[in-house]
Structure 1
């Protein structure tokens, strides 16, 4: 039993480990020194700068090759493109956290206090309650 539990924990850690590599060659500058994405607090990440560097990186490489990393990069870019501001700056972790807390504060409130919802049926689900409710 202990072996199974340890094996399950190891598999969960392996599956949950982030698959993004912040030191990927496509994210580094021209000198190859500093990555464009940083964990430095307060440093803004610019989506437009990211796109320029990635396009320069993929200009001389085959993006259709299986396992090249092009598709995950494009997924990341597409996801964050909706969250970037007009200058292309991505939200900081503090901005994301503040947004989450404001959402949580609003979720406990009734959106429409004068609404009066009533059940219109069916209330008696009969014999086949799981598959065919109301029969």
Structure 2
């Protein structure tokens, strides 16, 4: 019974880990501009600080790093939870619910990526979402 949907759920897990790892690569590289405007933009993002009150004055790069870390952690958490439940051979109704929750969360993430980012994150989040859709559809056949 687990084999009918587990292939697609395992595919989603692998894609979630790859997405988290690929997004984490940005923590190991320093951005460098190739034109004067790009170098100016990077300098402003790293050094211009906005006073947000209560002694909090992050740069735009600090905020982007936090968003980036949360994105990678979201995908890693999804992969770990799905992997754990699959290994425990959790009952079919619980797995349907978990995959449905995954669909909502990663579907919204995919829409946000599709509207606001560039091709690699759109493709990676889209593949995760697609594999979760197929996994959820195969539950109906069990």
Which band: TM-score by shorter chain? under 0.3
TM-score when normalising by structure 1: 0.27
For normalisation by structure 2, the TM-score amounts to 0.26
> Which has the greater radius of gyration?
1
Q: Specify which structure has the bigger relative contact order, considering alpha-carbon pairs within 8 angstroms and separated by 6 or more residues.
A: 2
